[in-house]
């Protein structure tokens, strides 16, 4: 079980969906974390107040960041790292489904996540300014399997898996003390799922979208509960499917090695 006491946590994500529920569950546990930093393109003042009220002993701060702008990420993470001193946990939870906008879909889901991680590492790496820690990256079941209606989104989420598994190599962990994990939620009732027909890769996806819309979805609360369980298992390099309120570890198949 992970001990959150005295830890600095950075959450990169919005004020809705699984990410927000993850933050609620973290704050409601009444653990004496040191500081929680929320990084997003726009602040939700009311939600910030609500999160702070859930655990008054923890300092909650907001830092604006544009995941499509590398310099914005660099400056924001530097300010956050200097404010905290070190970062113990990085939760990369930004998630967009806009397949017709390839740049944004790849930029936020993959490139932004990579830049956030690399800019946070000096404040996590025990050989630099950090004490070791955990990076949790939000992928998707579509990062594990094809998604014909959302090919760009699937490409980005497959990239998240590749990055997480690579950074989760035991040699990197032994040197840095930083472990990596990927979460792969299944169908979840979030705002992102409300306009699927407008965000498909191509125009011949209607039957696939109908199948998704008619399928059963888990709630963000159910997904967040299982993700918290996976995080607290502290298994470096692991990937977890979070579907219908259930948690299952993914055991990847080896296709090639040196």
Give the active site residues.
153
Report phi then psi at 144, rounded to 5.
Answer: -110, -30
CA distances from 90 to 12, 192, 234 (A): 8, 22, 13
Q: What is 143-175 written as a DSSP string?
A: GTS--GGGHHHHHHHHHHHHHHHHHT-HHHHHH
What is the rounded distance in angstroms from the CA atom of residue 196 to the CA atom of residue 229? Answer: 29
Backbone angles phi and psi of 185, in degrees to 5: -65, 145
65 neighbors 80 (Cβ within 8 angstroms): no
201 near 211, Cβ under 8 Å? no
Cβ–Cβ under 8 Å, residues 200 and 149 = yes
The crossing angle, in degrees rounded to 10, of helices 112-120 and 70-84 is 30
CA distance 140 to 191: 15
Report the 10 Å Cβ neighbour count for 242.
26
d(CA 171, CA 153): 30
CA distance 15 to 64: 13
């Amino acid at each position: 079980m992970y001990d959150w006491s005295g830890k600095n946590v950075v959450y990169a994500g919005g004020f809705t969906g699984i990410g927000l529920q993850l933050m609620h569950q973290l704050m409601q546990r009444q653990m004496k974390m040191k500081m929680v930093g929320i990084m997003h393109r726009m602040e939700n003042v009311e939600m910030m107040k609500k999160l702070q009220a859930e655990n008054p002993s923890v300092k909650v701060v907001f830092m604006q960041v544009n995941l499509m702008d590398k310099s914005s990420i660099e400056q924001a993470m530097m300010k956050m790292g200097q404010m905290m001193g070190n970062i113990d946990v990085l939760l990369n939870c930004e998630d967009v489904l806009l397949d017709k906008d390839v740049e944004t879909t790849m930029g936020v889901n993959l490139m932004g996540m990579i830049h956030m991680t690399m800019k946070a590492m000096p404040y996590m790496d025990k050989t630099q300014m950090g004490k070791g820690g955990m990076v949790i990256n939000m992928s998707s079941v579509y990062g594990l399997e094809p998604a014909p209606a959302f090919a760009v989104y699937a490409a980005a989420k497959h990239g998240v898996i590749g990055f997480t598994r690579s950074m989760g190599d035991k040699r990197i962990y032994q040197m840095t003390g930083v472990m990596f994990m990927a979460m792969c939620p299944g169908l979840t009732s979030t705002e992102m799922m409300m306009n699927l027909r407008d965000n498909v890769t191509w125009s011949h996806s209607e039957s696939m979208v109908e199948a998704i819309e008619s399928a059963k979805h888990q709630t963000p609360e159910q997904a967040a509960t299982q993700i918290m369980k996976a995080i607290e298992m502290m298994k470096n390099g692991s990937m977890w499917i979070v579907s219908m309120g259930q948690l299952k570890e993914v055991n990847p198949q080896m296709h090639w090695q040196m």
